[in-house]
Each structure stands twice: as C-alpha cells, then as structure tokens.
Structure 1
Amino acid sequence: MSGKMGKYFLAIVPDEAICDEVTILKEQLRDSFGLKYALRSPPHITLKMPFVHNEKKEGELIKALEAYINNIKSFPLIIRGVGSFGSRVAFLKLRYPPELKVFQHGLVDFFKRRLKKNLELSDTNYYPHLTVAFKDFKKGQFEDVMAFVKDAKVKQSLQVHQVSLLKKVDGRWLRIADFQLTN
C-alpha cells in the first residue's frame, strides 16, 4: 500500500513583522484589485518548488531536511524593489548573497540524490523573490497593480535563521516544520 501523496514546498518565511507588512500589501491588492490567490500562503521566498511526497513518510522527510539544513550558515537578505514574470506574477525583489544560490543549488542536489525527486525547470532557473500577486489578474490591470506595489515601497532587511517546510492542506499552504540554520 503506497499511502496518500501530499504536496509540499520548502521556503524562507520572513519574521513576523515582515510577514505582516507583506500580508497587508496582499490584502490591499485583494481589496483594490480582487487579487486573492497570493493570500493562500504566508509571505515566503521559495527554495524548492512544490513537490509530492508520501504522507506516511513525512516524518522521514522532515528528519532528512533537518539533518541537511542544520549544516547551512545563516545569511542576510534585503527586500527592495519590485519585479514581475511577464504579466502573470508581481513580486518584491531581493538582494541576496551568493550563499543563497549555493544553498538552493545544494537543496536541488539533495532532493534529487537523497529524496529521489525529479529536477524541475524552476530548480535550474532559480530567481529568488517574494510573490505578492499571481494567477488571478484580470485583463488590463497588471500595470496598475505594478504601480500600486511600487508605491508601497516595501524595504526590509532580514537575517535568515530558519527555513520552513509547507504543506498544502484544504487548498492553503501551512507551515508544518521549521529548520534552524547555524550562526
């Protein structure tokens, strides 16, 4: 018996103050433009795109990730500026050290070798960002949304001390485990 497959992803979830500021921006986008899809997950910077995993082996997944991530050093990030992927995704840009790309590439290799997960295009084309709106734009509103996000002028700095595993539960992404980085 194979067990039920769950959907997971790995991300940096900023501290509460930054999450609150970004969530308020997402709520303003919902109220002003009807954009609500981005509210289905906490503000985050994706490290490993959604993947499926046997829920019966969730504990093993968490232990394996913890063992790997506990050896990664903490690093700084700066949230400043806005960007987009075509006219489908609006995001906050990051300034980040090379350590983030090294960490993400290491995770891709770890997922492929240790967890036997397929390599995704997003794994090889990694562009760290913090999404504020995607998927539910109405025709002709993208430029107005981008101007709104630019006007919000979100500027934050953070030291990344942990990474979170999120799981899709009833259509929403919930944090189910946090992994500490070393100082």
Structure 2
Amino acid sequence: MPRSMQKYFVAIVPPEEVQAQAQEIKEGVRDKYNAKHALKSPAHVTLKMPFVWNEHKEGKLVGLLEDFFKERSPFPVEFKGIGRFGRRIMYARVHGGNELIETQEAFRHYCRRELKLNEELSDKAFTPHVTLVYSDLKKHFFDECWAMLKERGFYGKMEVRQVALLKKVNYRWQVLEMIDLDEKIDLG
C-alpha cells in the first residue's frame, strides 16, 4: 500500500462511562486470557468497515462525511447484554431501533455512491455491537470467558449526536475527527 494510502473507518463512539465499562472488560480479558486485540481501538459501533483512503485527501473525506451526517437527526442507543458471533467474537449488544438501522443503511449506500467504497458483507448484514473480545482468545478459554461476560453483563445508554472518523496509526485505531449530526431545534 503506498504511503499516502491509509486505513479509516466510521463509527459511533460511546460516552466515557460506556468506554470505561468496555475498557475494564477488555483489560480483564487481556490479564486473565492474554487476549488483547480488542484493546487496539476505543469501544465503538461500526457504521462503515475499515477502508483505504488517500491521506492527502482526508479533508475531502471529512467534508463528504459532514455532508451526509448533517442530514441525519440524533437518536438514542442502548447497550444491553452480551452476544457473540460463533466462537470467535464476544460483544455488547446495541439497540438503536429503526433510526440506527436506517442511518447505517443510508450511509452504506452513500459510501458506495459518493465515496466510491466497496461494500463489505458486514456492511450489508449490519449487526450493531461493541466488540469486547476478538478471535485472539484461545479456543480452550472461550466457554469460561463467555460465562464470565454473560454473568457480568453490559449496560448503558446514549444519545448519538456525533460519529467518529477513525484512522489506523501505528497499528492502533484513533479518533481523527468527530462529525456532528443535525442539531436543528424544533420550535414547534
């Protein structure tokens, strides 16, 4: 990959109390099971899977994202419970109602049309979640770790007013830019 091409993705980044809860779980899994891949990014709900973009055109990317999200209204999201994808990934369940599903679907089409990005299977089969344990967990620890997470649970709420553009820097994902959703006040 040429030096100017970098990896990015777009996500909802929860508030500090939800971040802290996820971080505590990730660190506990690292300490007990030596599974640490989940620590390479802040807790997030992916709206667009990682993609490659020319770093010199980051400003254009941010502008395109602002154009889309300024047309979307804030909406509530709830974090409630633990789920898994097979025996590979464990996550916090995310409930955002129709607003979250519709936002992701419209954004998926916008990314294909305006950003000229390929659609990934996970873009089409959107399952909102916050990953807590990646597939670097050794298989023989899976059931024990799963029971621990199920017992602990995961809970939180937020109003989605911004989304984040994240960039991979030194093998870790960092928030590059926060992009506001429309904050129009309805005066009735």
Q: Do both share a fold (TM > 0.5)?
A: yes
1:3 and 1:61 map into 2 onto residues whose CA distance is 17
1:135 and 1:58 map into 2 onto residues whose CA distance is 31
Residue 65 (structure 1) aligned with residue 65 (structure 2): yes
Q: Which runs of 4+ in 1 moved over 4 A?
A: none
1:105 and 1:124 map into 2 onto residues whose CA distance is 8
- Residue 98 of structure 1 corresponds to 98
- Residue 163 of structure 2 corresponds to 163
Q: 1:4 Cα deviation (Å)?
A: 1.4
Q: 1:3 Cα deviation (Å)?
A: 6.4
Pairing of 1:10-29 with structure 2 (within 5 A): 10-29=10-29
User: Gaps spanning 5+ residues in structure 2: where?
Assistant: 184-188
Letter in 1 for 2:105: H
1:82 and 1:178 map into 2 onto residues whose CA distance is 27
2:96 and 2:50 map into 1 onto residues whose CA distance is 22
User: Gaps spanning 5+ residues in structure 1: where?
Assistant: none
Letter in 2 for 1:164: A
2:26 and 2:68 map into 1 onto residues whose CA distance is 32
- Residue 51 of structure 1 corresponds to 51
Q: RMSD across aligned C-alpha pairs, in angstroms? A: 1.2
- Residue 118 of structure 1 corresponds to 118
Q: 1:19 Cα deviation (Å)?
A: 0.5
- Residue 129 of structure 1 corresponds to 129
Q: 1:135 Cα deviation (Å)?
A: 2.2
1:10 and 1:137 map into 2 onto residues whose CA distance is 25
Q: 1:122 Cα deviation (Å)?
A: 1.0
Question: How many residue pairs are counted as aligned between the two chains?
Answer: 182
Query: What does the per-residue CA deviation read over 1:90-137, in whole Å, with 9 as the maximum and x for residues that have no partner?
Result: 001112211111100111111111011111111111100010010211
- Residue 109 of structure 1 corresponds to 109
